[in-house]
Amino acid sequence: MNRTLNTVYAWLLLLPAMVLLVAFTHYPALATLWHSFFSTPKGRRPAVFVGLENYQAMLQDPVFWRALINNLWFALGTVPVAVGIALLMALWVNRGLAGRGFLRLSYFTPTILPMVAVANIWLFFYTPQYGLLAQILQFLGLPGPNWLGTKETALPALMIVSVWKEAGFFMIFYLAALQGVSPSLREAAMLEGASRWQYFRRVLWPLLMPTTLFVLINALINAFRLIDHVVVMTHGGPDNASTLLLFYIYQIGFSFWDTAYAATLTVVLLVVLGIIAAIKFRWLDKRTHYQ
Amino acid sequence: MRRTVLKSLAAMIAGAFLSLPAYAQTKPVEVEFYYPVAVGGPITKIIDTMVADFEKENAGIKIKPVYAGSYQDSIAKALTALKGGNPPQLAVLLSTDMFTLIDEDAIVPIDGLAKDEAGKQWLGGFYDAFMQNSRSGGHVWGVPFQRSTIVMYYNKTMFKEAGLDPEHPPATWQELVEFSKKLTKKDAAGNVTQWGLEIPSGGSFAYWLFQALTTPNDAILMNEAGNQVMLDKPAVVEAAQFWRDLAAKHGVMPTGTIDWGTTPKDFLEKKAAIIWTTTGNLTNIRSNASFPFGVAMMPKQKRGGSPTGGGNFYVFKNATPAQQEAALKFARWATTPERAADWSIATGYVAVTPAAWQTEKMKKYAQEVPAAAVARDQLDVSVAEFSTHENQRVTKVLNDALQAALTGAKTPQQALTDAQREADRILRSYK
């Protein structure tokens, strides 16, 4: 009896979180998978079961491949750089220097700003001829490229914005982790004659590993979740050079109203994210030292 | 105790049912009205005033205006609401969304509602250039309201500096190249400090500007049924080649794509001598330009011409007959000559009927702002904006092709051949 009551208690306590998770995460994910096997209903034509046809169409869709490859490059370009800069900034502002609070705040500022405002500011930076970058280059006597209007530079330009935006946010996590490291460890290492690099490499870095893992996962998820900048700055152009997967899904879903195909693409996005998470938790976790 | 509660509850319900018919008789017809904002200015305030004026004259009708974001947002909202079973009864959406709305079975033909003699006369009163985007399959589906077209803005001071006549804007493609070359300036290091010409190609409007090149080259991009596009015809490829050449061969326009949103700013910052953009930007440029500027029609090649653009009123199918009637009444009221003139003067959109241009205030406005009349005069040679079934998708195919051609990723011939094939694939089920 007591046991049953306990079980009931446990389930009741879990209920609020579970209702939210089921309603906004699990059910939509399953519904997406379900819809991806049907055609898009249109006016008087209801949806019919089409099996894997949506997936076949996707494999033959050059824009899908473009978006996927762009997204991989985007992740590859932004994640290591953002995490690296975050770590550097955290180590920098963790020391006892004058104006530390101000420095921390200024590093964190990009994170507080609304995404759309940020994108508009950067849109001005990148504007040819009288944008900030163009003015600096003009001053140096260099020609300013058309950053957002050229196939080769559009995606890197977006990557820079993303790094700028994310690094400060991840810095906060590293900073918190660094504050948790006992100063006696450093003193002990110094007494043993370890160099500062050795202390970082052998003591600090392993201790920061859980944070790094957390930050990496978040950075990667953010890389696949980004859409605001694309909408404001390039609209995926020129010729899909800066189309990312989520932006393409949005376009298919809410501009073209091809909801079935959008569901198919969403399934792919979910699978990609699932694989990344699985690899990280299974492989990286083993090499991570939790205190 | 319990019985009393039940009894009073029953009495209340019965009372509600009994009083319902009486209540319904006095209740005004409510019409929910979605509208977008696509140009600068206090549009929401103007709309609210319009609605208030209308309600004063029509006591039995209550219009609920809902600001729905950009054009893209508005159609997304309207279709989402439709799928949720709660669409608006009236909306202003892009004229090019017509086929999408028909395919979604969302709207009713206007000519089916305005069947009387006065209604027919009203529908016949609009500029034909605007009606081209409102007709399909022998029916009228939309009422022109906030309509625009592409015009050329040019900086008269720069024309003078370059030794050109500021009262003679380029009238042909040849003159356009010639003048733009004179208007392009470089510094000692060879970097361009002032561009002769900018035709925006970024964002989602590349196809529209492209029509300002294909129309003068005597090419039409789609049929009236909206299920066939003609993108790989020689005249179309020529137009794309000309656009590419302006940057690549003549060096009078920046290479790569040019952003739609920053083009008016480039003009105001004196970085571009000539720009092509919508008449909707007139009020913005008029209030912010620090130099005298001119407005001109699209330069001619084989003929003149530009596409029209902008939004139409649509009446939704889910509405009750009374609501549809009320919605139609509002659309008719908003497009009467006096009202259309007010709207045009307040926003910069082109007044949609010749009768509106005959009103006293419009005559006065055209005298004060001759630029406004340029758009009207261009209507005689204007064509329908690019619009097909699966409109957004086909438009994206064309935009991508144009951007590929302009950035040099593909030759214009290759890009447009690919686009034609892709568009045929998308449209195959609508034949």
Instruction: Report the relative pairing of strands B29-35 and B90-94 from DSSP bridges.
Output: parallel
Q: pTM here?
A: 0.81
Q: Is the pLDDT of residue A280 over 80?
A: no
Q: Is the pLDDT of residue B170 over 80?
A: yes
Scan for tokens 């849109």, then name that residue: A123
Could A143 and B104 be called an inter-chain contact, meaning their C-beta atoms sit closer than 8 Å? Answer: no
Q: Which of B264, B300, B259 is nearest to B279 (CA)?
A: B264
Q: Residue B255: list chain A partners with CB under 8 A.
A: 146, 149-150
Could A149 and B407 be called an inter-chain contact, meaning their C-beta atoms sit closer than 8 Å? Answer: yes
If you average pLDDT over residues A149-159, what whole number do you get? 89
Q: Which residue in A42, A144, A256 is closest to B104 by CB distance? A: A42
What pLDDT does residue B56 have? Answer: 92
Q: Does B271 touch chain A (CB under 8 A)?
A: yes
Could B409 and A151 be called an inter-chain contact, meaning their C-beta atoms sit closer than 8 Å? Answer: yes
What pLDDT does residue B7 have? Answer: 58
Q: Give the DSSP per-residue string, B252-263.
A: -S-SS---TTTH
Q: Is the pLDDT of residue A92 over 90?
A: no
What pLDDT does residue B4 have? Answer: 57
Q: Which token pair is A240?
A: 């899909």
Contact B369, B348 (CB under 8 A): no
- Convert the pLDDT of each residue in B197-208 to its tens digit: 999 998 788 999
Q: Does B388 touch chain A (CB under 8 A)?
A: no
What pLDDT does residue B328 have? Answer: 93
Mean pLDDT of chain B: 88
Q: Is the pLDDT of residue B64 over 60?
A: yes
Q: Give the DSSP per-residue string, B345-361.
A: HHH-PBPSSHHHHTSHH
- Convert the pLDDT of each residue in B239-290 to its tens digit: 999 999 999 999 999 988 898 888 998 999 999 999 999 888 888 888 889 9
Q: Residue B72: list chain A partners with CB under 8 A.
A: 255
Q: Which token pair is A2?
A: 């007591």
Q: Is the pLDDT of residue B306 over 70?
A: yes
Local confidence band at A124 (pLDDT 50, 70, 90 cut-offs): confident
At A48, is the secondary structure helix, strand, or coil?
Answer: coil
If you average pLDDT over residues A197-208, what whole number do you get? 88
Instruction: Report the relative pairing of strands B185-186 and B192-198 from DSSP bridges.
Output: antiparallel
Distance of alpha carbon B203 from alpha carbon B260, whole angstroms: 6
| Lowest pLDDT segment from A40-44, B156-160, B216-220, B383-387 | A40-44
Q: How far is A9 from chain B (nearest CA, A)?
A: 34
Q: Does B317 touch chain A (CB under 8 A)?
A: no
What domains can be seen in chain A, in order of their start residue? Answer: 53-285 (1.10.3720.10)
At B52, is the secondary structure helix, strand, or coil?
Answer: helix
**Mutate: best of B96, B262, B388, B394, partner A, most A CBs <10 A:** B262
Q: How far is B3 from chain A (nearest CA, A)?
A: 35
If you average pLDDT over residues B355-381, what whole number do you get? 90
Q: Does B400 touch chain A (CB under 8 A)?
A: yes
Q: Which residue in A43, A128, A251 is closest to B105 by CB distance? A: A43
Chain CA centroid to CA B177, Å: 28
Q: Does B73 touch chain A (CB under 8 A)?
A: no
Distances (CA, A) of A74 to A77, A123, A180, B63, B377: 5, 18, 32, 47, 49
Local confidence band at B24 (pLDDT 50, 70, 90 cut-offs): very low
Q: Is the pLDDT of residue B20 over 60?
A: no
Q: Which residue in B79, B105, B256 is closest to A150 by CB distance? A: B256
Q: Does B22 touch chain A (CB under 8 A)?
A: no
Distance of alpha carbon B56 from alpha carbon A117, whole angstroms: 40
Name the percent of chain B lying above pLDDT 70.
93
- Convert the pLDDT of each residue in A264-274 to its tens digit: 999 999 998 88
Could B104 and A43 be called an inter-chain contact, meaning their C-beta atoms sit closer than 8 Å? Answer: yes
Q: Which residue in A130, A145, A241 is closest to B271 by CB distance? A: A130
Q: Which residue in A145, A148, A151 is closest to B259 by CB distance? A: A148
Distance of alpha carbon B211 from alpha carbon B219, whole angstroms: 9
Q: Is the pLDDT of residue B1 over 60?
A: no
Q: Is the pLDDT of residue A6 over 80?
A: yes
**Dmax (CA) of chain A:** 84
Residue of A nearest to B390 (CA): A256
Q: Does B406 touch chain A (CB under 8 A)?
A: yes
Could B256 and A42 be called an inter-chain contact, meaning their C-beta atoms sit closer than 8 Å? Answer: no
Local confidence band at A106 (pLDDT 50, 70, 90 cut-offs): confident
Distance of alpha carbon A76 from alpha carbon A273, whole angstroms: 14
Q: Which residue has the higher pLDDT, B384 or B431?
A: B384
If you average pLDDT over residues B358-381, what whole number do you get? 90
- Convert the pLDDT of each residue in B243-256 to its tens digit: 999 999 999 999 88
Local confidence band at B22 (pLDDT 50, 70, 90 cut-offs): very low
Local confidence band at B371 (pLDDT 50, 70, 90 cut-offs): confident
- Convert the pLDDT of each residue in B69-90 to its tens digit: 888 889 989 988 998 888 999 9
Predicted-assembly ipTM surpassing the 0.90 threshold: no
What pLDDT does residue A131 have? Answer: 84
Local confidence band at B386 (pLDDT 50, 70, 90 cut-offs): very high
